[in-house]
Amino acid sequence: MEDRKPNWLLTLFLLIISAPILIMYFWLFIDSISEINTDGLWPEHFTLRNWRFLYEDIDGHGNVWKATLNTAIFATSVVSIVVILSSTAGYALSRLRFPYRSQFLGFVLLLHSFPSVTLIISIFLMLRLIGLYDTLVGVILVKAALELPFGIWIMKGFYDTVPWEIEMAGLQDGASRFQVWYKLVLPQIMPGIAALAIFSFMAGWSEFVLPLILVPGSETKLLSVYLAGLMIDDYLSDFGLFKAVGLFYIMPVMIFYLFTQDKLMNIYGGGTKG
Amino acid sequence: MEIKLEKFSKSFGSVKVIEELDLTVGNGEMIALLGPSGCGKTTTLYAICGIHRVSAGRILFGDRDVTALPPQEKNVGVVFQSFALYPHLSIYENIAFPLRIRKEKNADIERKVREISATLYMEHLLERRPGQLSGGQQQRVALARALVRRPDILLMDEPLANLDASLRLEMRTEIRRIQQESGCTSILVTHDQVEAMSMCDRIALMNNGVIQQIGTPDDMYHQPRNKFIAGFIGNPPISFIDGAVENGQFTSQGMSFGLPDNLKKASLTSGQKVSVGIRPEHLQPGSENPVAGEVTFIESQGREILYDLKLGDGQMLRSIQSGARTCKLGDRVTWSINVNAVLFFDAQDERILPA
């Protein structure tokens, strides 16, 4: 173990430079449980009324739990698709010889460079055409497709660090190519899979543009769209409510991040430890 | 089980690595594929175990043609240079892996793993992970994993290259002991002649994808077929002197001596250009067949002392002598060549054999 003595100077320094962020979050929390005086900075009166969206529907904006469930389905589906396809495609690109392999790799990278907004109109038209417009399935497929290039590259990088000899040894020990991948290679890149899953979950949870345009209906609304809907509603200027919903929206990501940040570091470190 | 390679060839794309190689390894024999890096020895090994596809020719295990079989269908144990242990599995599971793939019963697996780890003195390691073992211990695990399913053939790719010097010595005897106990036909790939000579029954010396000579370590040392073999085998290495044969004498600008009796009848014509190889132990203090030169390098190896002798024409001879140091750097000395042990090579680098 390394020296575990707290370094007060360093802690103080980090505290100071992260103070603006911490204060903003703290203020967000305070505001969400107080009456907000619109022309002053200081909150007055404790209230839970801002959190009323949890038990009653806000007029014209649908049910928050429905949106939360949708967002959860959306994010986890994106994670599953991205992880399964990236871990298999990454293996193929790292290990198998097939025609146009390097061109394919370059092409995948090229796909990654398009901001999703530039594609939105054609995607909208395509979804209309195949009847997946305003369905969760449609937007899940689109989001997963846009996340895939990044995922495939990350996974390929992780596979590249697994020595060939391990696979050869596996084949020699009698395992099939699939068994070698599943039993020997995959466990080596678990940190990569974990990191990719977390990344794509957060990307899915925070996605806004795609669901705003592709799933505008009330049955398929996601949390980000729900929040935006509240904020642009001309008849509603309840900042306390906005802040409470905002806090509710970022809570899962923050909790998730708190517990998985060490795994996230792996994606930059690359490869297995120990 | 006997291994037989018949006109085995391997190319990668248009690059021919090995052309028409023939090799037979007898049942229970341990043979070394020895050669400089890039000579095709590892390629040959990978072809035998099935990782590389064979471009042409046949590979037989006993009477069975295994040329086209994938590695899974050959019962071959392989020890890789990097050991290639599975880092996420315990040592026990590493060794058990080939048995688990075969879906053997748990009780059988347990018995076999215990048995092989007892043979290799590593029962106390079974609960650990590969990352927690030293190089020598990892080597034992790799060996155990290769042997646990009683392979027909054991292949080892530079198994000692990743170990430090003292461990290498220990594992050398250890591997040989295990190989003899199991009676497993084995091929050892190495670039280290000492390893090959000390561990194996026979050596196949390879260069540029061609087997130069197959023979016992003694054969290779005393009866090399060509200049490459003479130069590769032996440490400190042999020294070569270029010269010509004239009137029953070998002559170069720096030295000359009468041809040994057994070579006088050989097909040597007067004026023929030859190259002679003189091993360091065949140049010793003495007066017979003298050669004079200047000592330009002295290296003490403890028991023996290695000298470099620079002849009048600039060519070098090496001498290894036991006992105390007899001269110092820069001295001019006259030493004696054991002419009967000198090896003669023709202009094509082939050995000129005594008639």
- pLDDT (tens digit, 0 to 9) for every residue of chain B, 355 residues total? 899 998 998 988 888 888 888 999 999 999 999 998 888 889 999 999 888 888 999 999 988 999 889 989 888 999 998 889 999 999 999 999 999 999 999 999 999 999 999 888 888 999 999 989 988 889 889 999 999 988 989 999 988 888 888 888 888 888 899 899 888 999 999 999 888 998 999 999 999 888 999 999 999 999 999 999 999 998 889 999 998 888 888 888 888 888 887 777 666 777 888 899 999 999 999 888 889 899 999 998 888 999 999 988 888 999 999 888 888 888 899 999 998 889 999 888 888 887 6
Minimal CA separation from B209 to chain A, in Å: 23
How far does the CA of residue A188 sit from the closest CA of chain B (Å)? Answer: 7
Nearby residues of B5 by Cβ (< 8 Å), 6 or more positions away: B21, B22, B23, B24, B44, B48, B57, B58, B59, B60
| Interchain proximity A272–B70, CB inside 8 Å | no
User: Cβ contact (<8 Å) for A172 and B70?
Assistant: no
| Sequence-separated (6 or more) residues with CB below 8 Å from residue A37 | A43, A44
pLDDT value at residue B272? 85
Residues 6+ apart with CB under 8 A from B116: B95, B144, B147, B148
DSSP letter at A270 equals -
**What are the angstrom distances between the C-alpha of A124 and each of A81, A119, A204, A225, B213?**
21, 9, 18, 17, 72
Domain with CATH 1.10.3720.10 in chain A: 61-269
- Please state, in angstroms and rounded to a whole number, the distance separating the CA atoms of residues B191 and B172: 14
What residue segments make up the domains of chain B, in order of their start? 3-231, 237-345
3 state SS of A55: coil
pLDDT confidence of A114, banded at 50, 70, 90?
confident
**Model pLDDT, residue A3:** 55
- State the fold for domain A61-269: MetI-like fold (1.10.3720)
Q: Which residue of A has its CA nearest to B154?
A: A172
* Chain B residue with minimum CA distance to A174: B72
Find the residue in A nearest to B73 (Cα). A174
Q: Do A174 and B98 touch (CB under 8 A)?
A: yes
Give the pLDDT score at A1: 42
pLDDT value for B90: 93
- Mean predicted confidence (pLDDT) in A235-240: 78
Q: What are phi and psi of A190, to 5 degrees?
A: -55, -40
What was the pLDDT predicted at B96? Answer: 94
A168 and B70 within 8 Å at the Cβ level: the answer is no
Q: Which residues pair with B333 in a beta bridge?
A: B293
What SS3 string covers chain B? CCEEEEEEEEEECCEEEEEEEEEEECCCCEEEEECCCCCCHHHHHHHHHCCCCCCEEEEEECCEECCCCCHHHCCEEEECCCCCCCCCCCHHHHHHHHHHHCCCCHHHHHHHHHHHHHHCCCHHHCCCCHHHCCHHHHHHHHHHHHHCCCCCEEEEECCCCCCCHHHHHHHHHHHHHHHHHHCCEEEEEECCHHHHHHHCCEEEEEECCEEEEEECHHHHHHCCCEHHHHHHCCCCCCEEEEEEEECCEEECCCCEEECCHHHHCCCCCCCCEEEEEECHHHEEECCCCEEEEEEEEEEECCCEEEEEEEECCCCEEEEEEECCCCCCCCCEEEEEECHHHCEEECCCCEECCCC
Q: Which of B85, B86, B101 sits opposite A174 (nearest CB)?
A: B101
Q: Using the predicted structure, report yes or no on whether residue A180 has a pLDDT greater than 90.
A: yes
Q: Are strands B304-311 and B290-300 parallel, antiparallel or unpaired?
A: antiparallel
Tell me, what's the pLDDT at B265? 66
| Unique residue bearing structure tokens 């698709």 | A81
Query: Range with the lowest mean pLDDT among A60-69, A107-116, B126-135?
Result: A107-116
Structure tokens of A125? 């038209």
pLDDT digits (tens, 9 = 90+) for A72-102: 999 999 999 999 999 999 999 999 888 898 8
Confidence at residue A92, expressed as pLDDT on a 0 to 100 scale: 93
Quote the CATH superfamily of domain B3-231: P-loop containing nucleotide triphosphate hydrolases (3.40.50.300)
Cα–Cα nearest to A144, from A72, A69, A70, A79:
A79
**Statement: residue A274 has pLDDT above 50:** no
pLDDT score, position B15: 87
Q: Is the distance from CB of B228 to CB of B40 less than 8 angstroms?
A: no
Is ipTM over 0.85?
A: no
- Judged by CB atoms closer than 8 Å, whether chains meet at A169 and B86 is answered as yes
User: B82 to chain A nearest CA, in Å?
Assistant: 7
Query: Which residues, 6 or more positions from A169, have their beta carbon under 8 angstroms from its beta carbon?
Result: B78, B80, B84, B85, B86, B145
Of A36-45, A100-109, A117-126, the one with minimum mean pLDDT is A36-45
* Yes or no: domain B237-345 corresponds to CATH 2.40.50.140: yes
CB within 8 A of B46, min separation 6: which ones? A168, B52
Contact of B188 with B33, CB cutoff 8 Å: yes
Please give the mean pLDDT across all residues of chain A: 86
